[in-house]
Amino acid sequence: MGRLFGTDGVRGLANEKLSPQLATSLAEAAVHVLCDKDAVAGRRPVALIGRDSRASGEMLEAATIAGLLSAGADVLRVGVLPSPAVAHLVAEVGADLGVMLSASHNPMPDNGIKFFAAGGHKLSDEVEDELEANLATAWPRPVGGDIGRLRDLADGTERYIRHLVGTIDVDLTGLRVVVDCANGAATEVAPEALRRLGADVTAIHASPDGLNINDNCGSTHMASLRETVLSTGADIGFALDGDADRCLAVAADGSEVDGDAIMAILALHLRKSGGLADDTLVATVMSNLGLHHAMRENGISLVTTAVGDRYVLEALRAKNLSLGGEQSGHVVMPAYATTGDGTLTALHLAASAVESGRTIGELAAVVRRLPQVLLNVPVADKAIVESVEVKAVLDEQSVVLGDGGRILLRPSGTEPLVRVMVEADTAERAHAIADTVASVVRGG
């Protein structure tokens, strides 16, 4: 059996892989594993829990709360809020751990459960492994007055909105914005935060009914956002995902602004104000080579990590840096958040445009994206990437590419696949090299 935790918590089909029983067990184990015994000495630990708008979140919330209470933790319930809001509130109220129920950008039938340690930080692989190893532990359970108590944090939404707005000192009056809320967790907070800063906001896909989260909308389906930006004459459009920890954008001409371009815009803006620590940006190996070139041309160093925003977070914390993210739209600004925050990203991107006096399309042009091809190759054994044959074809094709491109092989963390990614100066060359490498991986 594979590892229960993936790149961002435990995720799967709700009421099947992710059952109420599993949620209860995970919650109970989390109280025992994550709570610092010295910190909670003489009192009950406190857990804060939020969820996205999926119908299954109601069921999993009840099961998770039961596990937390049965382990002796008091629970603060914040209801439907973005993942980064839960992380922020864990830190703000001084909770000992946080729980977010969401499958992010996945389709509605899926759901997920992820944990935050004290301070609102994501868990390391080692802590997740410890939590998983203790799922079957027969913990002693409190009784009587020692059982945890549940209450709602009534002002959680307002606290989070105030936090977001407080990170910006730029008046957005006159900026016409469209925000696609993905019928998800940021339906209330994202439009409100933008409006409080003065923006003229049109919100779309902002009517969650429990079943329509991410349904042909949000950061994975941007056609309707593009159409609305063009039809309304907006200056910029933002696309969030179901739990609003990522953000992509659309410029006034309808062109997409991906996570790489967003990171470049923010990096240059921060450096101009002296806020880019060590003139360094953190990105994952999946970022386009065009971002590397743009940063190098502008005197900014780029640190690369494995795929997953928590690896970006680890690098940011270890090196005390101020900006990082992923091509998919997870952007982390440690001065304001302990995790990727889509609404925060949208606010700062809007502020960058207003302060510069330039359009988002003009700012995004700093990244000249190289053609990229990604192939998912089915394999019997993902260890094939270490074979002599595969290493030989990688060496051979890397010579062909030279400094004008790159090849990346990445075994899938959840499926029997090897992902072959190639970037080159032309789409034709990228396709040809990807096909050559894939054929060796497939036949090796």
Compute how many other C-beta atoms are within 10 angstroms of the C-beta atom of residue 83: 33
Beta bridge mates, 304: 283
Domain 10-154 matches domain 159-364 at the CATH topology level: yes
Residue 41, pLDDT score: 87
State the burial class of residue 19 (Cβ atoms within 10 Å of its Cβ: 0-12, 13-18, 19+): middle
Instruction: Give the domain ranges of the chain.
Output: 10-154, 159-364, 372-443
Amino acid 411: pLDDT: 86
Domain 372-443 -> CATH class = alpha beta
* φ, ψ for residue 77, nearest 5 deg: -100, 125
Please identify every stretch of the chain with a pLDDT value under 70, giving residue numbers as ranges: 1-2, 413-414, 444
> How far is it between the farthest Cα atoms of the chain?
71
Catalytic residue status for 104: yes
Which residues are 50's β-sheet partners? 79, 100
Q: Which of 70, 83, 102, 104 is catalytic?
A: 104
Q: What is the pLDDT of residue 415?
A: 74
Which among 382, 401, 368, 373 has a CA at the least distance from the CA of 441? 382
Pick the CATH number of 159-364 from 3.40.50.300, 3.40.50.720, 3.90.25.10, 3.40.120.10: 3.40.120.10
Tokens found for residue 249: 């954008």
- Which of 120, 145, 154 minimizes the C-alpha distance to 337? 120
- Position 414 scores a pLDDT of 63
Residue 425, annotated ligand binder? no
Q: What is the pTM of this model?
A: 0.92
**Residue in this structure with the two tokens 């006096």, named with its chain if needed:** 357
Amino acid 440: pLDDT: 93
Confirm whether residue 104 is marked as ligand binding: yes
What is the per-residue pLDDT for 186?
98
For 180-217, give the DSSP string. E-TTSTTTTHHHHHHHHTT-EEEEES----SS-TTTT-
The rounded distance, in Å, linking the Cα atoms of 413 and 403 is: 29
258 marked ligand binding residue: no
- Flag whether 243 is marked binding: yes
Short-list 45, 82, 44, 77, CA closest to 60:
77
Q: Which CATH fold topology does 10-154 show?
A: Alpha-D-Glucose-1,6-Bisphosphate; Chain A, domain 3 (3.40.120)
Please report how many Cα atoms fall inside a 13 Å half-sphere around the Cα of residue 122, on the Cβ side.
Answer: 29
